[in-house]
Amino acid sequence: MPQSTDRPSGATTMRVTSADDARPLPRDSEALPKVLVVGQGPPTTGGIPTYVTELMADPWLRSRVHMDYLNTHPRGVKRPGKLTLANLLDALTHAWTVFGRATRADIVHLNLAATPGLPMLRALLLCAAAKAAGAGVILHAHSNQLEWCLPSLRFRFLIELGSPFYDRLIAVSQVATAQLGEFRPAVVRKTLHLKNGVDHTMFRSPPKDADPPILSFAGTISERKGLIDLRDALLLVARDYPGNALPVRVLIAGDGRQEGPGAFERMTRAYAEVGLDEVEFLGSLERKEVIDLLARTDIFCFPSYLEGAPLSVLEAMASGTAVISTKVADIPSMLDHGRAGILIEPGDVAALAGSIKRLLDDPHERARMGNAARRRIEDEYSQAVMIGSLYHLYLEIVEERGNRQSAVAD
């Protein structure tokens, strides 16, 4: 099936089967849409910085769109979304900057973690600033907590109250899209689902021949990512081998800055306190280092509790790696409901341990599952198709904006 940009029930569905299906490049470069992309970027790490970096670097899109970029975290400093003076000043500064730069743009594409509290208020403030400058506005909600937040009446009120300030609300998971489909028509009309995608050509899928095999995790270092569950599962796995020695090299990549001070150190202590000193915490890695790690990885464990459509899982799949993850948000769909990876319930340590042992003991199953995962990415989660869909959306909003301006002039 082609990848699609889908709206919930009651709204139009837009489909793009490949990037080349989008409209041809305008002959006059001045006629190209002008898009200001806003979001976290390097040196900050994580899902949003990765998405924004790949978006800005895409040559196909850059040949069709005048791209401008506002990095909201240029110093790599992440502050959890608490109501502090520093966060408030950041929000006001970003709003003023967005307003100024949006006056020269057709569209402002906001890539934000729109969760309850200050993050959602900040998102709506930036939407209002862009709209006040006369630009079309896309609110791209990358939050891994969106499905959990949407049932909240207060959060629902904010999304509905803020609907005049955005032209499209993009959800990265089908679950969140379905939930938004139950909101007021003003929100439903603007809501659509856009799958995350990865450029599988960037990821190598060599034979997995490390001895011992490599088990890895890549993401934010925190309890909500299931790393305590992974610790306890590794202890159970070790009991089944001579000397309680793990027959696998465990590599954990990522940092805890998004979680606040001490998160990384808290997790390393949690592993050391139970004797898992052999587990290697690699810290934040450069993009090329992540690609190399995934190419060498035999088993990728991602036992998270809260997700949307995690890029780290897609990248592991693109690397031909056998994936174990949780039945959260869009992960079951990404793993083809167990045909391209192993799915467990969040918090089920015994199932996680059993899945790790199963793959350690059966290299042929690891290889089969890794191959299925790679094919799943090529067929369903192509970055080229995602970019083509986004380009269509840009053109659609530019056309709507032009129609509104013509109506006002008349």
First to last CA, the chain: 43
The structure tokens listed for 188 are 């439903």
Torsions phi, psi of 52, nearest 5?
-65, -40
Beta strands 107-112 and 66-71: pairing type?
unpaired
Chain segment 178-201, per-residue pLDDT in tens: 999 999 999 999 999 999 999 999
Closest CA relative to residue 64, chosen from 100, 38, 26: 26
Q: Cα-flanking dihedrals φ and ψ of residue 187, to 5°?
A: -85, -45
pTM for the full model? 0.88
Report pLDDT for 76. 57
User: 253 — phi, psi (to 5°)?
Assistant: -110, 140
Cβ contacts of residue 67 below 8 Å, gap of 6+? 35, 37, 56, 61
Residue 16 has a pLDDT of: 44
Q: What does the pLDDT read at residue 21?
A: 52
Mark the ranges of the chain whose per-residue pLDDT is less than 50. Answer: 1-4, 10-19, 22-23
> Which domains, ranges and CATH numbers included, belong to the chain?
4-197+383-409 (3.40.50.2000), 201-380 (3.40.50.2000)
Per-residue CA distances from 84 to 143, 162, 402 (Å): 21, 23, 40
Angle at which helices 311-318 and 287-296 pack, to 10 degrees? Answer: 50
**3-state DSSP of the chain:** CCCEEECCCCCCCEECCCHHHCCCCCCCHHHCCEEEEEECCCCCCCHHHHHHHHHHHCHHHHCCCEEEEEECCCCCCCCCCCCCHHHHHHHHHHHHHHHHHHCCCCEEEEEECCCCCHHHHHHHHHHHHHHHCCCEEEEEECCCCHHHHCCCHHHHHHHHHCHHHCCEEEECCHHHHHHHCCCCHHHHCCEEEECCCECHHHCCCCCCCCCCCEEEEECCCCHHHCHHHHHHHHHHHHCCCHHHCCCCEEEEECCCHHHCCCHHHHHHHHHHCCCCCCCEEEECCCHHHHHHHHHHCCEEEECCCCCCCCHHHHHHHHCCCEEEEECCCCHHHHCHHHCCCEEECCCCHHHHHHHHHHHHHCHHHHHHHHHHHHHHHHHHCEHHHHHHHHHHHHHHHHHHHHHHHHHHHC
What is the rounded distance in angstroms from the CA atom of residue 142 to the CA atom of residue 139? 9
Tell me which residue of 78, 140, 126, 122 sits closest to 98, measured CA to CA. Answer: 126
CB proximity list for 250: less than 8 A, separation 6 or greater:
214, 215, 216, 234, 276, 278, 279, 280
Measured CA to CA, the distance from residue 93 to residue 100 in angstroms comes to: 11
Beta carbons within 10 angstroms of residue 351's beta carbon: 18
